[in-house]
Structure 1
């Protein structure tokens, strides 16, 4: 059973998260010849204050 973890900065619409889950599921299913029912996608949204880039939190960008 494939398990895919995706980490994103918070703030995207639920519709977009659903699209990511669907697209990842389809791609993994096709690539691995795995039934979609066996594929798990976990999306974790990270607060901008907890995501750093170039030494600064994204909340300061």
Structure 2
């Protein structure tokens, strides 16, 4: 049973997240040859203030490039 975990910055519409879950499930079934029912996909959303790259949070980056 494959488990795919994705961490995203919060703020995307639920329909976008649902599409991502679907596409990841489909990719796993194609690549691994397993049934969709066996694939688990977990999307975790974190606030922009809790996600950073290069010691700059997404919140800080958005403020400077807003």
Segments of structure 2 that go 5 or more residues without pairing to the other structure are 62-66
Greater relative CO (CA pairs within 8 A, separation 6+): 1
| Structure with higher helix content | 2
How far off is 1:54 after superposition?
2.0
Q: What is the number of residues matched between the two proteins? A: 61
Tell me the C-alpha RMSD between the 2 structures.
0.7
TM-score of the superposed pair, with normalisation by structure 2:
0.88
Residues 14-51 of structure 1: CA deviation (Å, up to 9, x unaligned): 00000000000001001101000000000000110101
Runs ≥4 residues deviating over 4 A: none
